[in-house]
Amino acid sequence: MPVEPFLPFTRPQIDDATIAGVAEVLRSGWISSGPQVKAFEAKLSEFFGGRPVRAFNSGTCTMEIALRIAGVGPGDEVITTPLSWVATANVVLEVGARPVFVDIDPVTRTIDLDRAEAAVTPRTRAVIPVDLAGLPVDRDRLYALAGKRGLRVVEDAAQSFGSTWKGRRIGSFGDFASFSFHANKNITTCEGGCLVLNDEREAALAEQYRLQGVVRTGHDGMEVEFPGGKYNMTDVAARIGLGQLPHLAEFTARRRELARAYFEEFDRPAVRSLGIGLPVANFTDSNWHMFQVVLPEERMDVRRSAVMEELKSAAIGTGVHYPAMHLFALYRRMGWKEGDFPNAEYAGRNLLTLPLFPAMARSDVSRVVRALSSVLENHGKP
């Protein structure tokens, strides 16, 4: 029986003032999209250096809407990584275009931009890079490629809220930037997302796609030129976001401290010799959304799920982010198969997300690394 309390791999942190603020919104008589959403969008726009920002009820829909605004549709190709939450490629299918996967760089675990360039065809319209675990894809090379080949970029920055590239916030420059405020993200609205856009014309289109294509004028004017979805954020969610934003800097700083602690623990000689793959030790740009290790499958006599099970028995939660998505039945039916992207497949089988969230203690990090090391020691191949 575990003696320690269960340590989840992540846990949201919502302060009492935010909870009281939500209660106020609930009592206010206006609980769907209204003044809180406007206020949240204004704060987000400030955060992103004055660029237009609109809030939505998920990160997924922000990517779909960005593709629609960019005019991506049937016959078009969109280059992306197979190592992401499946939303990244599903949205390409949703707009009727074809995702084109290219393998990851095994060190950063993000899209290999050389392979992305090699995959460009006359039908390529856009690229969706994913800042996995909060580590930004090289924005200099990304935008050099997009500029040279005339591609739109939809940054899947779902995990990189608060990350930077050479001192500039992700989302404060570039083309479309899409963020998620899902419960596991560095700041949350329970569910939600936002899209950073280039100009007011795109922002107006985003509003139309967000709510049934409707454009209102005056007190009673309404027009619809094309269909939209039902993707608006509620004021309840926006109030949570407003209460989360002021904590971002402290959350990110704490995540970085804990990530450093992981590196210290993994650097002990007895642990190093186990051959566990570590993430890039980036303490300037990454928001450390996750701390993910790669298990050394060739040295183990069990698979990842058994490791997870044993860690669970030791009261430690872990996660899988993500299986390589080209191997899901949906994408296999489109022609992808094992062996297409060896780096993503290896990572997809062996990545393990370890606990990392601001309220964790330094001693939790030691406990996790001790437990993982002991599991791997017990399961070494003879």
Tell me, yes or no, if 185 is annotated catalytic: yes
Toward ligand PLP, which CB reaches closer, 187 or 369?
A: 187
- Residue 156 binds ligand PLP (CB under 6 A): yes
Q: Which is nearer to ligand PLP, 52 or 193 (CB)?
A: 193
Least CB distance to ligand PLP at residue 66 (A): 12
> What is the footprint of ligand PLP within residues 110-149 (CB under 6 A)?
130
Q: Is 10 a binder of ligand PLP (CB under 6 A)?
A: no
CA separation for the pair 16, 4 (Å, rounded): 27
Residue 84 touches ligand PLP, criterion: CB under 6 A: yes
DSSP letter assigned to residue 126? E
Task: Judge contact between 320 and 303, C-beta under 8 A.
Answer: no
Hey, what amino acid is at 203?
A: A
Least CB distance from residue 33 to ligand PLP, whole Å? 17
Residue 358 contacts residue 184 (beta carbons within 8 Å): no
- Shortest distance, position 270 Cβ to ligand PLP, whole Å: 33
Residue nearest to ligand PLP (CB): 59
Rounded distance between C-alpha atoms, residue 327 and residue 341, angstroms? 10
How far CA 291 is from CA of 91, 157, 245, 306, 350, in Å, comes to 26, 17, 22, 19, 14
| Cross-strand bridge partners of residue 194 | 55, 179
Strand pairing report for 53-56 and 176-180: unpaired
Verify binding: residue 189, ligand PLP, rule CB under 6 A: no
The DSSP string of 247-311 is GHHHHHHHHHHHHHHHHHHHTSHHHHTT-PBPPP--SSS---S-EEEE--GGGBSS-HHHHHHHH
Residue from 43, 148, 166, 185 carrying the catalytic annotation: 185
Residues that contact ligand PLP, how many (by CB under 6 A) = 14
In the list 87, 187, 206, 261, the residue contacting ligand PLP (rule: CB under 6 A) is: 87
Other beta carbons less than 10 A from residue 372's beta carbon: 25
109 binds ligand PLP (CB under 6 A): no
- Listed ranges 58-66, 198-206, 227-235, 305-313: which one lies at the site for ligand PLP (CB under 6 A): 58-66
Choose which of 45, 60, 208, 234 interacts with ligand PLP (CB under 6 A). 60
CB of 306 to ligand PLP, least distance (A): 25
Q: Which is nearer to ligand PLP, 154 or 242 (CB)?
A: 154
| 59 is an interface residue for ligand PLP by CB under 6 A | yes
CB 103 within 8 A of CB 343: yes
Active site residues: 185
Binding site for ligand PLP (CB under 6 A): 58-60, 84-85, 87-88, 130, 156, 158-159, 180, 182, 193
